[in-house]
Amino acid sequence: MRKQKVVETEPLLYIVQPKAMRAAAHMQETFTWTNRPRQKETGDAAEQVREGEEQRAFFSKKEFQVMTLDEQLAFLTRLPAHLPPLKCQFATKEQSYEGVLKRCTAAELEVADEEGKETVIERAQLLSVTMIGFVQ
């Protein structure tokens, strides 16, 4: 038997891999945040507190069906502009209406259906509001 000679050869393909330098990033070390409502220059302090509580109540994470009827109507009237209108079912004692809430006052609601026909519902007759979905 013959012994084979081991010959060291150069690699057939050599890939140059540079040594990466660590980037020095200047990170923020501290952060402070206070949850204080902005105070108006004119106005009563009690009014400002009430307004802050109302904003907190609006932005609290409640399910729509758990909200009171007034909270549901306030939610529907204050939807952000980037969202499409919400189609809802407004149930009264006599019948139910499907459409988008256009205007809401203490005495009445104005609901527009898919065809654009607007219906005025008295606030006292309203029993419940159910979300159906977004209007395309």
* pLDDT tens-digit readout, 74-97: 888 888 888 888 899 999 999 999
Question: How confident is the model at residue 53, as a pLDDT?
Answer: 62
Neighbours of 80 (CB within 10 A): 5
CATH number of 50-134: 2.30.30.100
100: left (phi over 0), alpha (psi -120 to 50) or beta: beta
* pLDDT tens-digit readout, 21-55: 777 778 887 878 787 666 555 555 566 666 666 55
Question: How confident is the model at residue 16, as a pLDDT?
Answer: 77
Question: How confident is the model at residue 58, as a pLDDT?
Answer: 53
